[in-house]
Structures are given as structure tokens and as C-alpha cells.
Chain A
């Protein structure tokens, strides 16, 4: 989809190239994250893809076509572009801001209007309320959403995002990241994403390219990079909590036990006979609400009469199938629990 071949950028008057002989290819529908310390050349590389910066040597191809052979303006019109500072036009309303590229394509008014509404809804903003506001009337997070909506206006197959969530607070950033990943499942764009935050890279990336001093140090999936760092630089850059970070790659669904028992409070007698091999048994009351759980040890140690009490004493917490594993683990620590229940919608489907 996007192919960089031996790309080098040497700024005038500088001895060391900002980007040096960089080659990599990005597949269709993938999020490829460029990550590295400041000045590593990640933004420069990104900006060369839409010719905001021209490479000194090497070629960049999109769908097999050298980008230098097309007119820069029309090339840019076909690539979504989001920057950290967003750059909304302050004198234009939100609707007008999103309509910029459709207007460059000379879409009819009606089509633009319905597309703008569709995008605002997709971004979780109320079209009626937001359309006619000016950028200065929005919060940072809202502006960022508008920036992403604007970049997606004509449904480009490629999007370039330069620290798109860098300027918002951590809470909003987390939400934007989650929303964007969910959205990406539907829209399936080829995305080049720049960040200096390795955690964001691990979270967002299908592939991660680690850059330092203009050179590509390692290129691979987050799993590969966390498992097998290419050198000391990568190892240091990831940090000492490499193993913990790796947990982020897994969700509860991949780690849970699917063998568990479920009994009603009323039926405690003969419980061992019923579910002999279960490690954990969840207990529910007459209203079919989960009220607690029992472990195998509890069953052997306690008399049947006291089981209800024991089960209810333990704090029962729930996680969803797609909850990241570290969140589930920290919930267990917080509640001092041996097990948490995993829910698929409303249905109990496993235990951790």
C-alpha cells in the first residue's frame, strides 16, 4: 500500500540527515506507528508521505505509484491528515471545517451536508448542536474529534496522524484512543501514526517502527518488539516494565478460564458431586443475581450451611471480555479477590 524505499531527507545546512535510508512497507488496513524520541525523524518521514516535505533521495510509492509523479495538492486531497495542534480554521464553523476537502472535490451541497452530519455522529458529537459552533467554543477533546472527522471527510484510504491525541489530557486521550480503535475496525483505513509515547504505540499499532537519529531500528508487531527487542536502545526505550506492557496486548478473553461452576444458593447440598472439577463456583441468589463465589478449598473446609455466608463475604467483581488483562488484574488486587467473573454481555462466560 505505502512503500518507502531508501528514503533519505537531508535538510539544508545540516550535516546529519533527519531521515537516513529508510525502507519499509505498510499494508492496507494496518495501523503503522512511528515511534521514537524527539528529533528521530518520525514526523519528517510522515510528512514526506504527503509531500509536505520532499525527500532528498529514495522513492515513496502509494499503491505502486511514485508520489512524485502526482500533483502535490491532489495527492494531499486524497490523504487524510491530522496534526497534534489540529489546525481548525478559527473563522469557520465546525461544519465548514469538516467540509473543506469535500469542497475541494466540488461535492454538491446536499452531499456535503449529510456527510458532515454522518461524521459528527460517528465521532460522538451531536450534529445539530455542533455544526454551527466555532472551534473556540469546543473543548480540546471535541476539537480533536473534529480534526479526525475532517481528515476522514472524503473517506480517504490512507490517513496520516501526527501525534493526534498528544494535546489532550490523559483521560480524554485514553477515550479517544479506544474510540478510534473501535472506529478503525469499521473503516479499516491504512494509517500512519506518529507518537513519542511507546505505550500509545503498543496500544494503537498493528506494526511499530522504532526510529532513532533518522534510522529505522526495529520494525514489527508490538508483540515481536516487546518479546524480542532488537538492541539496547529499543530495550531502554520500551522501559523496564516490558513484561507488564506485554500484558496490554492481551484481553481478558484470551486469559480466562472457561471451566467454572454456577449454582443457586438454594442448592448447596451435594454441590461437590455436581461440579467436581471446577476451580471456582459462582453463586447466585433466587433472583439469578450473582452474589459471590466459592473456591474448591471452601467447599472441602466448610459445612454446607455456612457456604452462603462465605460466598457472600467475598467481593465479586466483573470484567468484560474485551477488557485489557492488566485492568482485570489490578481490579483483583484492589478487591483482594482470587477470582473475577467475566461477562459476555449479560452472560457469565468465564473466570480469571
Chain B
């Protein structure tokens, strides 16, 4: 507590930075991966390739990826490298779930809709997206939580965020500092996920939740 009182300005600054990074990364990921997930449903060949790439990126440890980006001249230490890495990590959970959600809609529903004369675009908007929403949203929640966690590691490439409390605390053997950082990051991650859970209830169509 004493530590928190003494360092309140730093805590606020770091938290702000942390949120900024997470929000920007998630926003860019949404703009990038949702449309590409939808597009991939048009071609099985490209879907296989893109999902394989996403999978490989996802397997690279975050510390290594950050380190590699730092060595690339125009990325360097700081925000660009952090953002790029976070957006690439989001490719896997977000793009894959959008693809799966949109792709795996009950074939009979699609058959009936097409047979009634609904156009491909209309089927996407009115059937595939709403019916895929539970899967898509699950991917979105994972993305947000994961980004919050990995963003902390970006402190090693110059991000001044909550991860810094942990890394510096470790160096200085300052337990209070470590705990403050760890707890704050966890609270943010859990908080965001809970919040998104509430949002999900509004986004997922009612007909998918009612039981007889």
C-alpha cells in the first residue's frame, strides 16, 4: 500500500500507457483480421496458408519476437515494434475464430437461404455473421486478454507500462513493486474479460440463447 501511495503518478502513467498499447493493438487487429477472416472463407487454399502462417507466428515466444523486431532498423525500440508484434499475435485467435465462425454455419440453413434467393452478401450479413457471432466473440475475448498480458512483456523493448514494475522489481528485488505490477495487470485482464462477457450477451442473437 505504501508503495502504491508513494508512486501513484507513475502507476497512473504506466496504466495509461498499458491501456493505450492494448487498445491500439486490438483496434488494428480488428480492422485487419476480421475482414481477412471473412475473405478467407472464399478460398480454401488461401485459408489453409493464412491459418498456417498465423499458427507459426503464434508459436514464436513473445520475448523472441519483440527482440527480432528491435533489430529491424525502421521498427527499433518502442511502440512500432510492440504494436506490430501484438497485432501479429492476434492474427491467430481473431482471424481463425472469424473464419471458423463464418464458415461453420449449419449447411441446411445456408442451403435454404440460398434456395430462397438470398444473395451471397446478404447471407453473410444476415446469417453467417450473426450465427458465427458466439465463436467470433470468443476469439475477440481471447485476443483482448492475451494482448493485455503480452503487452507487459513489451516493457523490455522500451514500453513504459505496468510490465515495467515487474521487470524492474525483479532487478531490484523489490517485492512490493513486483506485486503491484502483477496484480494490476491481472485485474485489468480479468476486468476486461468480464466486461466483454457482458457485451457478448448483447451481441449474440437472442434466438441462439433461448431454449425451449
Contacts A83-B108, A137-B212 hold; do A91 and B206 have CB atoms under 8 A apart? Answer: yes
Q: When the two chains form their complex, are residues B208 and A86 in contact, meaning their CB atoms are under 8 A apart?
A: no
Please name all residues of chain A whose beta carbon is closer than 8 Å to the beta carbon of B5 when the two chains form the complex: none
Q: Do the beta carbons of B109 and A83 come within 8 Å of each other?
A: no
Answer whether A87 and B111 are a contact pair too, CB < 8 Å, given A134-B210, A137-B210, A137-B212: yes
Is A100 part of the contact surface with B, judged by Cβ < 8 Å? Answer: yes
User: Which of A75, A87, A100 is close to B106, meaning CB atoms less than 8 Å apart?
Assistant: A87
Residues B207 and A136 in contact, CB atoms below 8 Å apart:
yes
Decide yes or no whether A81 CB sits under 8 A from chain B. yes
B205 at the interface (CB under 8 A from A): yes
* Complex contacts, B117 vs chain A, CB 8 Å: 72-78, 101, 104
A86: chain B residues at CB < 8 Å are 108, 112
Known: A134-B206, A135-B207. Contact between A87 and B118, CB under 8 A? no
- Neighbouring A residues of B130 by C-beta, 8 Å: 91
CB distance from A303 to the nearest CB of B (A): 65
In the assembly, what is the distance between CA of A91 and CA of B209, in Å? Answer: 9
| Bound CA–CA A207/B30 (angstroms) | 56
Q: In the assembled complex, which residues on chain B have CB atoms less than 8 Å from the CB atom of A134?
A: 206-207, 210
A52, A73, A137, A138 — most chain B CB neighbours (10 Å): A73
Shortest C-beta distance, B189 to chain A (Å), equals 30
A88 within 8 A of B: yes
Q: B119 contacts the other chain (Cβ, under 8 Å)?
A: yes
Report how many A-B pairs have Cβ atoms within 8 Å.
Answer: 79
CB atoms of A52 and B115 under 8 A apart: yes
Please report which residues of chain A, range 140-158, place their CB below 8 angstroms from some CB of chain B when the two chains form the complex: 147, 150-151
Asked if A90 and B131 sit within 8 Å, CB to CB, the answer is: yes
Within 8 A of A (CB), among B103-121: 106, 108-119
Q: A73-B119, A100-B118, A104-B118 are in contact. Are A87 and B210 (CB under 8 A)?
A: no
Q: Does B192 lie at the interface of the complex (its beta carbon under 8 Å from any beta carbon of A)? A: no
How far is the CB of A177 from the nearest CB of chain B, in Å?
21
The DSSP consensus for interface residues of chain B is helix
Q: How many residues of B contact A (CB 8 A)?
A: 24
Return A105 CB to nearest CB of chain B, in Å.
Answer: 9
For B109, give its contact among A74, A89, A138, A160 (CB under 8 Å): A89
**0 or 1 for each of B121-145: is its CB under 8 Å from A? (1 = yes):** 0000011001100000000000000
Choose from A88, A104, A138 the contact partner of B112 (Cβ within 8 Å): A88
A50 touches B115 (CB 8 A): yes
Min Cβ gap B113→A in Å is 7
Given contacts A91-B207, A136-B207, A136-B211, contact A77 B116 (CB under 8 A): yes
Q: Which B residues lie within 8 Å of A89 (CB)?
A: 109, 113, 126-127, 131, 207
Q: Are B207 and A81 in contact (CB under 8 A)?
A: no
Check if A83 sits within 8 Å of B111, measured CB to CB: yes
Chain A residues, CB < 8 A from B113: 87, 89, 100
**Does chain B have a CB within 8 A of A93?**
yes
Q: Which 5 A-B pairs have the closest CB atoms?
A: A87-B112, A77-B117, A91-B205, A76-B117, A81-B115
A-B contact pairs, 29 of them (CB 8 A): A52-B115, A72-B117, A73-B117, A73-B118, A75-B117, A76-B114, A76-B115, A76-B116, A77-B116, A77-B117, A81-B115, A86-B108, A86-B112, A87-B106, A87-B108, A87-B112, A89-B109, A89-B126, A90-B106, A90-B131, A91-B205, A91-B208, A92-B207, A93-B207, A101-B117, A104-B116, A134-B206, A147-B112, A160-B115
Task: Give the A-binding residues of B (Cβ under 8 A).
Answer: 106, 108-119, 126-127, 130-131, 205-208, 210-212
Beyond the given pairs A73-B117, A93-B207, A151-B116, 19 more chain A to chain B contacts, judged by CB atoms under 8 angstroms and listed by A's residue number, are: A52-B115, A72-B117, A75-B117, A76-B117, A77-B117, A81-B116, A83-B111, A83-B115, A86-B108, A88-B109, A89-B207, A90-B109, A91-B205, A91-B208, A92-B207, A100-B113, A100-B116, A100-B118, A104-B116
